[in-house]
Homo-oligomer: A and B are copies of this chain.
Amino acid sequence: MSKLTDVPKRILIGRALRSDKLGETLLPKRIALPVFASDPLSSVAYAPGEVLLVLSVAGVSAYTFSPWIAVAVVVLMFTVVASYRQNVHAYPSGGGDYEVATTNLGPRAGLTVASALLVDYVLTVAVSISSGIENLGSAIPFVVEHKTLCAVAVIVLLTLMNLRGVRESGKLFAIPTYVFVAGVFIMIAWGAIRGLVMGDTMKAPTADLTIHAEQGGLAGFALVFLLLRAFSSGCAALTGVEAISNGVPAFRKPKSKNAATTLALMGGLAVTMFCGIIALAMATNVHMAESPAKDLLRNGTPVGAGFTQDPVISQVAAAVFGSGSFLFVVLAAATALVLFLAANTAYNGFPLLGSILAQDRYLPRQLHTRGDRLAFSNGIVLLAGAAAVLTYIYGADSTRLIQLYIVGVFVSFTLSQIGMVRHWNRHLLTEKDPAKRRRMQSSRAINAFGATFTGLVLAVVLLTKFTHGAWVALLGMVIFFVTMTAIRRHYDRVSDEIAADDTPDDDVVRPSRVHSLVLVSKVHKPTLRALNYAKLMRSDTLEAVSVDVDQADTRALREEWERRGIEVPLKVLASPYREITRPIIDHVKSLRRQSPRDAVSVYIPEYVVGHWYEHLLHNQSALRLKGRLLFTPGVMVTSVPWQLDSSEAAKKRARKRAEWNAPGAVRRGPVAAQPKKDKTTQKDRAAQKDKQEKTPATER
């Protein structure tokens, strides 16, 4: 299956083309940057504002601390980027924080990280879309007037797009991201020129307002606490940094190096934009308050509930470019778009993480297929549902949602960095080469610093935000953790239960003979097919069984049976209550009692239909019977399908589904990147190919 030279196979299998295509779309850095960085870069759209909001509690004078907070965020950003550059080199497989934590700290730590990430994905959607709506609202008032509705509508739209399997393309990400980055940089540059060179006074829309300090004149511990809280809010700028470490396989070679460079680039851009926006906000006198309606004053009176507090980035843009100007609108649109793209990354990440967790049996096993439609659908619906509920509850207010946000990120940062320290410790035990040892030691130092710093931030976030909403995120993590632990425990218990003994002659699993029964209601094609198939199997005894639900029907069946001279004996079971299931179960049980060492094989003709409502009309008795038969030991149940004409419709749908592409494939890199060997022998394959060329592809 690795080489696709033969045309019939290409036509038959088709999807293998995907593998080719993916191979072609390995990401160059200039595309990888927007693909992976839309999440962290977009967070500069709300992080600076959050800092000012918190500071405003102590009055506008506290704004003077904002540069210091910006510096702290920048230092943290560099730390995290430096740390993750180590991850990228050490784990080029793209396993991400879950892999790092599981490998180095054990499954419980891994599961904690996974729970944190799952919660985080939900919040990425809720926060990014809410913030996107707010940015869009600065240009289109209607949107902000119907905030919750619009936010939920965008969630629904993204959900539908992802359920349909719209292919993510690098270029699609590149344009708005670059427009956004360019826009912000132009704004910073133009603002600097206007302010410093031309000496213009730029005034934000809220420049003339004053802030009513909720807690004026804070000092000492209270002030420190407030500053820490402002810093925690600023840390929202760091969300999504870890995305690149999950995506290493998608990079062009040398993968790790390119990924590390992209990471550095992304960090540089993010901090520049973050600091630039904060500086411009100070220069243009942006005033923001946590409760704008009562704490923002115009000429001494509160602005009231009708006032919409636009995001910092749009206020700054209004000051620099002029409100409603072309560049202002472009930047607002690009900001909203980048934020929606950031939300979209969660739609890719959540089901993917789910499939990895399923592989480790923390989630239902059938979800572990990579790129499987069902797995993706389930994950997407769960994600969208949770995000929509949160968005609805919090009224699409990004400020309130952000209180929940950063907990998960920093849990995962911290555990991942601790894991990396352990990783280096382990490698240092065996590594002899002094040059390599030195490099490892410095990596370890970086990761240790990262772990300490992010751990501290986590503590600060928990301390300052617990009552503001962080508890909700923690609760979510606990729920995920407990559920996944329970699922894993169930699988382990079942696995013990079904483990094969080493004595192969297990009495339970070795019947000696087979009695076959074919269920018959009428003599029609499905029945005849089932009879023929059953005959092919050459079991020890074979009889046709019918239940006498209606006397006239039974008589007709007997006559038809004799008329056709069907040589299989027909047994009719009495059913005084017109039941079908029970007489058959009783008959099977009596067969089993007669010869307990034998197995009973029941053939059920089954209709294959094309529409869901036809399921209501067919096979229901068969399904129920099968359900009951399976509880009887020593019984196997064979469905002999009869494809009704209408089943063609379902076949067509299935074929369409087969062409479905898992969203987010581009950021995961091609499958071929994994080491793989074809398991069918060379000879097998040649033989098969031979046959295929001779046999026309009549099926499908």
**Closest 5 interchain pairs by CB?**
A366-B620, A630-B641, A572-B679, A638-B638, A370-B578
Please determine whether B676 and A576 come into contact, CB atoms closer than 8 angstroms.
yes
Copies of this protein in the assembly total: 2
Is A432 positioned at the interface, with any CB of B under 8 Å from its CB?
no
Task: Determine the distance from Cα of A594 to Cα of B690 in the docked complex, in whole angstroms.
Answer: 10
In the complex, what residues of B have CB within 8 A of residue A29's CB? none
Please determine whether B680 and A576 come into contact, CB atoms closer than 8 angstroms.
no
- Which among A15, A509, A678 has the greatest number of chain B C-beta atoms within 10 A? A509
For chain A, residues 481 to 501, give those with C-beta under 8 angstroms from any C-beta of chain B. Answer: 487, 490-491, 494-495, 497-501
Task: Determine the distance from Cα of A624 to Cα of B369 in the docked complex, in whole angstroms.
Answer: 13
Distance in Å: Cβ of A696 to nearest Cβ of chain B? 9
Distance in Å: Cβ of A484 to nearest Cβ of chain B? 12
**Segment of A56-64, A177-185, A317-325, A529-537 engaged in the interface with chain B:** A529-537
The residue in chain B whose Cβ has the minimal distance to the Cβ of A617 is B364
Task: Determine the distance from Cα of A528 to Cα of B626 in the docked complex, in whole angstroms.
Answer: 21
Task: Determine the distance from Cα of A647 to Cα of B539 in the docked complex, in whole angstroms.
Answer: 28
Task: Determine the distance from Cα of A12 to Cα of B509 in the docked complex, in whole angstroms.
Answer: 26
Task: Find A576's partner among B513, B523, B671 (CB 8 Å cutoff).
Answer: B671
In the complex, what residues of B have CB within 8 A of residue A631's CB? 608, 641, 643, 647, 650-651, 654
The residue in chain B whose Cβ has the minimal distance to the Cβ of A578 is B370
Please determine whether A679 and B554 come into contact, CB atoms closer than 8 angstroms.
yes
Distance in Å: Cβ of A662 to nearest Cβ of chain B? 9
Please determine whether A579 and B621 come into contact, CB atoms closer than 8 angstroms.
no
**Segment of A38-46, A161-169, A337-345, A585-593 engaged in the interface with chain B:** A585-593
The residue in chain B whose Cβ has the minimal distance to the Cβ of A1 is B574
Please determine whether A533 and B548 come into contact, CB atoms closer than 8 angstroms.
no
Distance in Å: Cβ of A10 to nearest Cβ of chain B? 13
- Which among A506, A590, A658, A679 has the greatest number of chain B C-beta atoms within 10 A? A679
Task: Find A697's partner among B359, B551, B593 (CB 8 Å cutoff).
Answer: B593
Please determine whether A692 and B590 come into contact, CB atoms closer than 8 angstroms.
yes
- Which among A498, A528, A699 has the greatest number of chain B C-beta atoms within 10 A? A498
Task: Find A359's partner among B498, B499, B550, B632 (CB 8 Å cutoff).
Answer: B550
Task: Determine the distance from Cα of A12 to Cα of B582 in the docked complex, in whole angstroms.
Answer: 12
Known: A364-B617, A368-B578, A638-B601. A695 touches B593 (CB 8 A): yes
Is A297 positioned at the interface, with any CB of B under 8 Å from its CB?
no
Task: Find A536's partner among B514, B550, B644, B698 (CB 8 Å cutoff).
Answer: B514
The residue in chain B whose Cβ has the minimal distance to the Cβ of A494 is B644
In the complex, what residues of B have CB within 8 A of residue A599's CB? 533, 536
Task: Find A19's partner among B13, B576, B642, B643 (CB 8 Å cutoff).
Answer: B576
In the complex, what residues of B have CB within 8 A of residue A577's CB? 15, 369-372, 671
Annotate A682-700 by CB proximity to B: 1 below 8 A, 0 otherwise.
0000001001100101111
Annotate A598-627 by CB proximity to B: 1 below 8 A, 0 otherwise.
010101001110000010111011001010
The residue in chain B whose Cβ has the minimal distance to the Cβ of A531 is B509
4 other contacts beyond A504-B528, A508-B525, A593-B692, with CB at 8 A cut-off? Answer: A13-B586, A374-B624, A510-B532, A630-B643
